[in-house]
Structure 1
Amino acid sequence: MRDERMTVRVLLCQDVEDKGLPVASLLSFLQEQGVEAQVASQLCPHPYQIAQKAKGADQLIVATCYRWEAAGELEEYARRAGVSPLAFQVVPLARICEGDPRPLEKAQASLAMAVLRARAFPGARPENLRPYLLPRQRRITRRALFSLSSLSYRPIPTVHRARCRAEDGCRQCVHTCPHEALEEEGGIIQLRREACTSCGACVMACPQLALEMPGWSPEEVRAELEAALAYGQGRGIAFICPQIAPPGGPWMAVRVPCASAVSVAALLFALQGGAVAVGHCRHQCQSGLRQVVEARLDFCRSLLTALGKDPVIIPLVDATDGHIDLPVPPLQERGPTSIGPIAGAGADAQAILSLTGDHLLTLAHEGAPLGVAQVDESSCTLCSSCAFSCPTGALGYEEREGQAFLSFEATLCIACGQCVESCPERERGAIAIWRGVDTATLREGRKTVAKDEMVSCQRCGERVATAKMLSRLEGLLGAQFSSRRMAQLCQDCRGLPL
């Protein structure tokens, strides 16, 4: 649970003044944001000050000159002050403002992004942390052999059991994880901590938001993206992982655990504010899902092209030694001040509808995050298997007034194909999934795709099955089908004397 009373503190290195960023203006801006702000002399060369100055803070933001990596020395001093590694951010003001035509404006925007991200922190539990040793950055000496590398922490996801639909057959997180770190046992999703790389792909893939990874939660990423659009004044949005340094120039860096955790919704909302780029750390990538990311980018590009717009989407940018080289994007008008959710069932559809407006288009694409369940009413027996296996509720089943109804809501369909796998009549073509976007279908809302009469028990009045189901059974069993026993009596009454 997010604590509205949390203390957000910003430690500002006074040396940023020498880099052309007036400290007084930055302090005034932070005070307007309602956060505690302190200036520390020579904070960058003497970071041990963090251990004392950060005491009592729930969320800590250290505004440095050029240092951008949170893991290591800076994080260690923050931990000594009692700050969780998941509640710690580093904003290298001098680095990110290099090459920007309005550096103070960008510095203020970057601080606002960090503050709003901090306020969106959902809270963490000990099981969300996993320690690891940082790789040594220098040649090993004989003396160094007797010392350990610096200890840091990675966030790992935990499963919110009340939201998880694993009991109903949902395996989205299991199928998405590139390292087989998630397993299903008896309807419960289990995490193999030693296999998890904290890429966050499973968190963004879960339609029920049942996977929680504080520090990289969808709420935090959304808050930072929303702030980038509101304060960035039309600058480009660059999604970067912890292995990549925040870029300079007219780009606002939105931090994600991995490029694979950037959803289509996040990309489309970002495009409403200007240019978009996604950094890729190549061999250091935590997921190895490069093709998935490229497919999403291509889908967004194809969608905007279909709308007659000129998408400013930079192809996946490979990092060199932790840095990405981005072109100067065209500065756009100020982006939207608020955006919808970037993860969970319905998030991608909301972003697509927000972007397309009244346009009608149909776009089939392998990178599309949505789909349409195409039901053949002549083959469907309304057994309800598809509806009960659907992890998002896109397919629904209900009985009323002596009839059975199968319905479909396109905005909730993630094209997972679980409905097809569970359908006993799939070989007859009762249901299929079309991957793509059809804006007309998205706007229709929930609609009935199949219906049939319910046959009731002649003895007690309880439901037996749909007429189509009984007809199908008769066709399968032939002479073995007993109309009297199977079609006219419910399961409870079949054992009673006729």
Structure 2
Amino acid sequence: MWQSLFQKTLHKFSLQVEQAYCLRERYKHHDCRLCSDACPAKALKTEAHSLQWDKSKCTECGLCCYLCPTQVFRLEAEQLQKVEQALLGKETACFSCQKQAAPESDVIVPCLEALSPEILMPAFLRNIPVQIYWQPECCQSCNFSFHQEKLRGWVAQWNCFSGNRFQVEIIHRPELKKNKPRDFSRRDFFAFTKKQLTVKVRSLLSDSDSSSEISLQNKVPLSPKRVYLKNLLQKNPELRAQNLSPQLARLLRLCTINVKEDCNFCDRCTALCPTGALRIAAAESSLQLFFEPVKCIDCGICTAVCPHLEREELQTLEQWDCTSLLKESKLLPCPACGEPVPEGAALCQKCQAQQEQEKLFTSLNNDLWL
């Protein structure tokens, strides 16, 4: 009885969409299509540089929640929270899709396309061996777009990166599963339902509070996936020195940013950075441009809007969770108004804008008298 109730509670969720977090909403030229390309119900469209969600078509499969890098989609029961609960009492974690999984024993995801090293990290943090189970013939008749070679590729690269520490095994036959069905006690049930009730109450309170609406000025918070990666590195510092392949770095959306000498602190990159990985801070007599790699999701917006920034592949994770100072510039008085400006800047932004307006008005006035 308790196990049946627990299963019903575990799998009940509803999808919430926060469009202000979407990269297309943040930067009109961004071409992210991860959610719309993967949606099996065609409920998501990325047209006219914005995200369109057709709730009537949505089946709440949850695949978009796993793929979106900016947490646009949120489940009432978060995906990593469900993984945590599915690991209760497990000696081995076997991940499988909802079509092929054994509900009483497997860790279920909507589709194996949703898997990434971060989704497996709750198991790694508990030193639980990981298996991924799928039957290729079953995937051929599925309406989800699952790329088998992509999964095989990143699993091989992760196994190489982690050495013998966190190996992932791909299996195709159910008899090779090493996991055992979990047995829920009353204590497990009440602890979990109490936690879920707290989440639901907070969600209701936040939804009823109009002042908590998210705008484009709000930065995207650090994702749970990043928190798990950070915790994994803290618990296993030897992984920091391991060579990171370019393919694995792109899958994990890891990179670093360098700045050229001619940066003028225009603030465009920091204003458009969706996560706040780039920020400008004013010291007593200087301006400083900082970069926090742990917040960066490798969206490419900063390098697209600023010619003074360069993206670079991340080779290792040694300095990944350390904030770096990209550039520092002395503050000098603006020749026109006396406000502090970075060294090398002809005018402050306000005076520069005013100067450009005067030039525009002069040009229009000359055209009228011609």
TM-score (norm 1): 0.51
- Counterpart CA distance in 2 for 1:355 and 1:246 is 31
Find the counterpart in structure 2 of residue 282 from structure 1: 139
Q: Secondary structure at the match of 1:492?
A: helix
Structure 2 residue 265 is the aligned partner of structure 1 residue 382: yes
Contact 1:457 1:490 in 2 (8 A): no
Q: Secondary structure at the match of 1:231?
A: coil
- Counterpart CA distance in 2 for 1:450 and 1:259 is 42
Structure 2 residue 14 is the aligned partner of structure 1 residue 168: no
Rate the CA distance shift 1:209–1:261 in 2: closer, same or farther, 3 A.
same
Query: Per-residue deviation at 1:493?
Result: 6.3
Which range moves more in the overlay, 171-180 or 387-396?
Answer: 171-180
Contact 1:385 1:422 in 2 (8 A): yes
Structure 2 residue 118 is the aligned partner of structure 1 residue 238: no
Find the counterpart in structure 1 of residue 334 from structure 2: 457
- Aligned ranges 1:353-392 → 2 under 5 Å: 353-357=233-237, 360-365=240-245, 366-368=247-249, 369-392=252-275
Find the counterpart in structure 2 of residue 16 from structure 1: none
- What 5-or-longer segments of structure 2 have no aligned partner? 181-187, 189-220, 359-370
Count of residue pairs the alignment pairs up: 308
Structure 2 residue 176 is the aligned partner of structure 1 residue 327: yes
- Counterpart CA distance in 1 for 2:54 and 2:8 is 33
Find the counterpart in structure 2 of residue 259 from structure 1: 112
Find the counterpart in structure 1 of residue 343 from structure 2: 467
Task: Say which of 222, 226, 229 aligns to 1:346.
Answer: 226
- Counterpart CA distance in 1 for 2:331 and 2:36 is 42
The AA in structure 2 aligned to 1:442 is W
The AA in structure 2 aligned to 1:327 is L
Contact 1:403 1:453 in 2 (8 A): yes
Find the counterpart in structure 1 of residue 320 from structure 2: 442
- Counterpart CA distance in 2 for 1:202 and 1:360 is 30
- What 5-or-longer segments of structure 1 have no aligned partner? 1-9, 11-29, 31-36, 38-60, 63-110, 125-156, 319-323, 332-336, 471-482
Q: Secondary structure at the match of 2:298?
A: coil
- Counterpart CA distance in 2 for 1:313 and 1:414 is 24
Highest Rg: 1 or 2? 1
The AA in structure 1 aligned to 2:97 is C
Rate the CA distance shift 1:413–1:241 in 2: closer, same or farther, 3 A.
same
- Counterpart CA distance in 2 for 1:370 and 1:494 is 39
Contact 1:159 1:210 in 2 (8 A): yes
- Quick one: percent identity of the two aligned structures? 20
Rate the CA distance shift 1:330–1:346 in 2: closer, same or farther, 3 A.
closer
Find the counterpart in structure 2 of residue 491 from structure 1: 353
Rate the CA distance shift 1:310–1:208 in 2: closer, same or farther, 3 A.
closer
Which range moves more in the overlay, 452-461 or 412-421?
Answer: 452-461
- Counterpart CA distance in 1 for 2:24 and 2:278 is 17
Q: Secondary structure at the match of 1:314?
A: strand
Contact 2:65 2:75 in 1 (8 A): yes
- Counterpart CA distance in 1 for 2:52 and 2:18 is 11
- Aligned ranges 1:33-182 → 2 under 5 Å: 61=4, 114=7, 117=10, 124=14, 158-161=16-19, 163-164=21-22, 166-169=24-27, 174-179=33-38, 181=42, 182=44
Rate the CA distance shift 1:224–1:172 in 2: closer, same or farther, 3 A.
farther
Structure 2 residue 72 is the aligned partner of structure 1 residue 210: yes
Relative contact order (alpha carbons < 8 A, sep ≥ 6): 1 or 2 greater?
2
Find the counterpart in structure 2 of residue 223 from structure 1: 81
Task: Say which of 300, 312, 315 aligns to 1:433.
Answer: 312
Query: Per-residue deviation at 1:190?
Result: 1.2
The AA in structure 2 aligned to 1:397 is I
Contact 2:94 2:179 in 1 (8 A): no
Find the counterpart in structure 2 of residue 22 from structure 1: none
Task: Say which of 269, 272, 276 aligns to 1:393.
Answer: 276
Contact 1:117 1:223 in 2 (8 A): no
Contact 1:345 1:414 in 2 (8 A): no
For the aligned residues, what is the CA RMSD? 4.0
Query: Per-residue deviation at 1:256?
Result: 1.0
Query: Per-residue deviation at 1:373?
Result: 1.7
TM-score (norm 2): 0.67
The AA in structure 1 aligned to 2:119 is A
Query: Per-residue deviation at 1:257?
Result: 0.9
Query: Per-residue deviation at 1:434?
Result: 1.1
Contact 1:275 1:329 in 2 (8 A): no
- Counterpart CA distance in 1 for 2:36 and 2:312 is 22
Query: Per-residue deviation at 1:276?
Result: 1.3
Find the counterpart in structure 1 of residue 52 from structure 2: 190
- Deviation string, structure 1 residues 265-312 (Cα, Å, up to 9, x no partner): 22122234422122344221513333443343234312321xxx3544
- Counterpart CA distance in 1 for 2:67 and 2:224 is 7
Q: Secondary structure at the match of 1:441?
A: coil
Contact 1:205 1:344 in 2 (8 A): no
Contact 1:397 1:407 in 2 (8 A): yes
Query: Per-residue deviation at 1:326?
Result: 4.8
Contact 1:241 1:255 in 2 (8 A): yes
Rate the CA distance shift 1:443–1:193 in 2: closer, same or farther, 3 A.
closer
The AA in structure 2 aligned to 1:404 is L
